[in-house]
Every structure is written in C-alpha cells, then in structure tokens.
A and B are shown apart, each in its own frame.
Chain A
Amino acid sequence: MTMSLLRSALTVFRKEIVDALRDRRTLVVVLVSSVLLGPLVLLAISALVASFEERAERREVYVAGLEHAPDLQNYFERQTYTVRPAPADFEAMLRASTFADPVVVVPKDYQWALLHGEAPVIEVVSDSANRQAESGSGRIQRLLQGYSRERALLALASRGVSAELLEPMRIQERDLASAQTRATQITGMLPFFVLIAVLYGALNAALDTTAGERERGSLEPLLMNPAQRAALVLGKWAAVACLSMLIAVLSCFSFLPGQWLLRTDTLQAMFQFGLREALLFLAVLLPLAAALSAVLMAVAIRCKSFKEAQANSTVVVLGVSLLPLVTLFNPSGEAAWHLWVPALAQNTLMTRVLKGEELSALQVLVPLLVCVLLSAGGVALVARGLRAAALK
C-alpha cells in the first residue's frame, strides 16, 4: 500500500519535474530575474563603492580662481594633492551630474583680505543631488580646515602661544559596529532577493501543476487513474518544492562567485559570505520553499485558469515581498513574534547570518515549525480540493 503510494508519487514527481524543466522560457526568466539579480546588484554596489574610493585615492582638488591663491596651491601640493583648474561652467555641470568633484572657489580679493586681517570666504561648491560630488565635499572641507588651522597655528606660534591651548579637548570617534554589521547597510537587501528567488522558483510550477492542469482539462483524466489522490498531491508538491529549493540553492551559491567579482577590498572585507553563510541561508530557506509551494498550490487549485491563479497568488507574492519590511517600520527592532511570521522570520534570520551573529536552536526551530504546519495544511487543502476541481 505505502509502496504503491510512493511509487505513484515518484512517477508524478518525475513527470512534473520533466514538464517544468521543459518550460525553458519560464525557467530562463526565473533564473535571470531571481538568481542573477542578487549578484548583479552586488556588483553594482561594488562598482559604486569602488568609484568613491578611487576618487578619494586620486587626491585631486578642482579650484576656480587658483591664480588668486598661490599659498593655497602650495598647501594642497604639500598634502600631495594634484591641483586642477575647474572647468568654466562647473556649476551647470555639477547640477547636471556630469562633473563628479566639488569645486573650491577662491575670490579675487583673497590675498588682499588675508593681508588686511579680514577673513576671506572660500566656497566649496557642490550639489547635494550629485552624490559623487557630495561624497567628496567633506574631504575637501576638511582639507581646507586643515589649511585654516595651519595658518592659525603659525600666527599664534609667531606670537609665542602654545598650539596646545587651541585644543583644550580632543574628540575621537569609536564605532561599535563590527565590519560585518556595517556591511549589512549595503548587503541588507540580499535576503530579500533570495526570498523573492525562492518564491518565483515555486510560483510557476505551483500554478501549472494545479490551475494549469485544470485549464488544460488533464486533471479529470489524471484522477481516473487508480493512483491514490495522496500520491498525486505529494508527487506534485514534492516537484514544486524541489524546483523552488533548486532556485534557492542556485541563488545562495551565486553569491559565492559574485563575491570574487567585488572590486574593492573594503567591500570584500565587509561582505563575508562564505560556504558557512550559504549553508545557513539554505537551512533557513529550504523549509520556506516547501511551505510556499504548498500554499501557492492550495491557492491555485481553487482557480479555473492559470490567469485566475496568477491573480490570486498575488496575495502570497505581496506577503512575501512586504512582510520583511516590517523591520523597517518597526524601530524597536526584532520582536519575538517576528519568528512566527513566514518570510519575515527568514529575512530576520538571514540578516543575522550576514551580521555574523549566531542562530540559536529556538530561532531555527520556530520558523521550521511554522513551515511544516503551512506545508501540511497546504497539501491537505490541495488534496481536498482536487476532486472538486477536476469536475468544474
């Protein structure tokens, strides 16, 4: 009895896998959109960070009216900066984001004001909508303040005042975040991409094996086989879950080579996603893949056509995409109930993994229990709806 059940379930499983893998176009879309998207975003971030770093390393400063301030040029050059004249229409270029450096503007009366003890105004021109220029603005301001302080110190020293007096206290920053925690500011969206990949891995197959089968009119003949209904449902569910898990595995492991492509050492040091992290991700995601498959199938078996099923499954898709956002809107941080909400729980756990924190047994077991319950409920609903579905 159980042998024949297993055999039939295996037959159904094999057929559904073959059927799904032959749906090349869908498969390619899922692979490109879900599996490649994560690494591509990673690459884009890396390119952005690299361009910031490169700009900082180039040590260039653009100055308008350089001829009015030879002493400033001397200071910049002593700081090993290359001084370049700013283009004539730099303001327009900064606004249009075609120029990526802030510009130091020296007024005509700079020397005269300096000699007469009147503080000349030096502008650092940037555009806060121009992110690259903006990121360099702080650096240039610090550079100018350094010159300002140097002049002050020289003036005081010539009058016999100790420079120590100018700094009655010292300020030092101490950042509590570990390198990995800092990295989650950048890599925080990765769990979201992986969740979506798992969802889309299951979506098409879940709809095709239920609503699609109804639409084609192949469900009724299928039910006129002597195979047990449980075998049909289990075989179908196993196939859908397997496809979703396959996408999960591909998606998680795609970050490993994606990581080698990171162009900056800083990001590489911050984004630590090795085999351990990939396996932890999978431990969190595989039960979710099984549960989402069952839930999607239970939703779709009630629908007469693939199209109707797509519309109805939007609720599930939205849930999985929006639930992780709860953490954004909830400033109090992680709450215990987060672990009981599918998708949110997985997002929370994956974020922890990325931060380099340990997962406790409870943190893994609660979402696992939720997934097992969802799977069982979904499969039972599909089994119950199967015969009614065949006839309508």
Chain B
Amino acid sequence: MIEIEHVAKQFVTPKTGGRRSASQPAAQRVVKAVRDVSIRAPDAHITGLLGPNGAGKTTTLRMLAALITPDAGRLSVDGIDVVSRPREALARMGVLSDARGLYPRLSARENIVYFGALHGMQRDAAHARAESLARMLEMTALLDRRTEGFSQGERMKTALARALVHDPPNIVLDEPTNGLDVIATRALRDALRWLRTPEGGGKCIVFSTHIMQEVERLCDSVVVVSQGRAVAQGTVHELLAQTGEQDFEEAFVKLAFANESARGRPEAA
C-alpha cells in the first residue's frame, strides 16, 4: 500500500529543470517539478502513473524512494512515513528507477545477491531468491554470466530481479518498458500480472509510463499526471466515461492538456 498525498517539489538550479518541467519559461531559475500529486495505490493492484515527458513522474517516484525530500506533502509505504523513516520504507519497497546500471564485472546472480545482502538477507536466502526470480523472469540461463554485454531486455530483467530480491510487498517501476522490444515487454507484463495475484504475493505495484497501450492492458487504475499535478485518477473505463471519449489516447490528451485551461493559470514561481 503506497499513499502519496499532495507532494510538491521545486528545484532552484536551471540545469535540472529541462528534464522535469518543460513548460516553464526558460529564464526562470526555480523549476516546479511537482506541484500537487496524490496517489493511492492499494495492495494486489497495479497503479499506472501516466503522463507526458517532464510531467513530474520521475521526481515523484524519486521522492517515494527517499532520494529527494519533498517540499510539501506526505508519502507513506504500508503506513511508514518515507521522510522520517526512509530505511524502513525502502525495506518494504522494490524500486526499479530509470537509472538501472549493473556492475559489468559481476554476474547477474552476484548483482542480485549483492542487493539482497544490503537488504540484510542471508547469503543462502538471497541465492535461493535469485534463482526463483530468474525462473519467473525467464533468465535462468543468464544468471551466471557477467552482465557486461547484456542486451537491454536482459539488463532490465536483471535490474528488476535485483529490485525484487527482498520480496517487497510494494513494487515501484519507473518507465520499465523503455528500450524493450515486444517480447521483453510482454514478459514484463506477464511477470507484473503474476505478482499482483495472491500466488504472486498480492503486491502493490506502481509504475510510470508515457505509453497508453501499456496502461490499457495492464493497469487496474490510472493516475494522469501533467505539469506536476495529478489531474485525474480512476480505471480506464472511468476516465473514458469522465471525458466522454471512446479512445483512451483522446481521453488522455483531454485530461493531460485540455484541463490546463479549465484549471486556471499555473501559479507564478
């Protein structure tokens, strides 16, 4: 269970702005990456974070992973406040961030077991877990190869296994399908669906994306994020009904961009 309530974050350096908030005037030194985002992601549920590039998805997820401290709002994981007890919150989360670098001189197994050990797992348990994750992600053959020269899909699988090594009840994925081919994307979707089921552990899964089809095919509910705000939340059907559209892409464009004028001018920074 992940709860994010009205978080906000601004950056003062001009350099970091471009990536997180494209709409701000160039001269502005203060970049409001996240203005007001609230997400409630229950267990055994896949929650999609849908938004255009620079909407504030990555910043929100980085706040959730305790890498950045929010300026306002509250984030909690299974009732544990992320800001005041970051290590306990991280212990209950598996995060696949957009940076998913592996150690090229270590094998996939060693990469996974290393993170398991940092989560406080015993070696044997971490090895056993690496093997069962490898079976689930269909990467058993890769397990004892050095990750140097892995393909994008193989890297993603290793990074995902590394993030899930401690069997966390909450899973956070930042654009997990970036750079993956169809087969790898389908394999990832299957893995996430299974993790949602009671046999898979009934995980609370949050993932961000800018791809409509992914949300339509996978998510139980969607949070649409635009210009640092959560502008709509609900199932795909609810959002279609809300906008009166047949096509989800049209609905998304309406929600993400058209709502801007209805909402009034963004506050001056």
List A residues at the B interface (Cβ < 8 Å): 4, 7-8, 11-12, 15, 18-19, 22-23, 213, 216-228, 387, 390-392
Contact = CB atoms under 8 A, between A and B. Distances in A.
A281 to B, nearest CB: 31
Nearest to B159: A221
A208 to B, nearest CB: 9
B16 interface: yes
Given A22-B105, A23-B105, A227-B118, A217 B100 contact: yes
A15 B101 contact: no
A224 B106 contact: no
Interface string B72-98: 000000000000000110110101010
Nearest to B123: A11
B97 A221 contact: yes
Contacts of B105: 19, 22-23
Interface string B96-114: 0101111111100010001
A324 B65 CA distance: 47
6 contacts: A11-B117, A12-B118, A19-B106, A22-B106, A221-B97, A391-B67
Contacts of A18: 106, 110
B120 interface: yes
Contacts of A224: 65-67, 90, 93, 95, 97
A242 to B, nearest CB: 17
A343 to B, nearest CB: 31
B189 interface: no
A97 to B, nearest CB: 49
B114 A390 contact: no
Given A217-B100, A391-B62, A7 B67 contact: no
A15 B87 contact: no
B6 interface: no
A8 B159 CA distance: 20
A390 B119 contact: no
B120 A7 contact: yes
Nearest to A20: B105
Contacts of B150: none
Contacts of B106: 15, 18-19, 22
A390 B65 CA distance: 12
Contacts of B68: 391
B100 A228 contact: no
A220 B118 contact: no
Contacts of A216: 101-104
A222 B97 CA distance: 11
B88 A226 contact: yes
Contact of B99 (A8, A12, A19, A217): A217
B99 A220 contact: yes
B162 interface: yes
Contacts of A22: 105-106
Contacts of A15: 103, 106, 110, 114
Interface of B: 16, 62, 65-68, 87-88, 90-91, 93, 95, 97, 99-106, 110, 114-115, 117-120, 159, 162-163
B62 A228 contact: no
A221 B62 CA distance: 11
Contact of B114 (A11, A219, A226): A11
A225 B118 contact: yes
B118 A11 contact: yes
Contacts of A7: 120
A223 B67 CA distance: 8
A8 B118 CA distance: 6
A165 to B, nearest CB: 84
A298 to B, nearest CB: 21
Given A11-B114, A11-B118, A391-B67, A226 B87 contact: yes
* 6 cross-chain pairs, A with B, having the tightest CB-CB distances, nearest first: A217-B101, A218-B101, A216-B101, A217-B99, A220-B99, A225-B118
Contacts of A8: 117-118, 120
**Max count, chain B CB within 10 A of own CB: residue among A12, A19, A224, A392:** A224
B128 to A, nearest CB: 17
B16 A392 contact: yes
A220 B67 CA distance: 8
Nearest to B86: A226
Given A8-B118, A12-B118, A23-B105, 8 more contacts: A11-B114, A217-B100, A218-B103, A220-B99, A224-B93, A226-B90, A390-B67, A391-B62
A16 to B, nearest CB: 10
Nearest to B93: A224
A28 to B, nearest CB: 15
A15 B90 CA distance: 21
A220 B95 CA distance: 10
Contact of B163 (A217, A221, A392): A221
A322 B104 CA distance: 35
A301 to B, nearest CB: 16
Nearest to B13: A392
B100 A225 contact: no
A76 B58 CA distance: 92
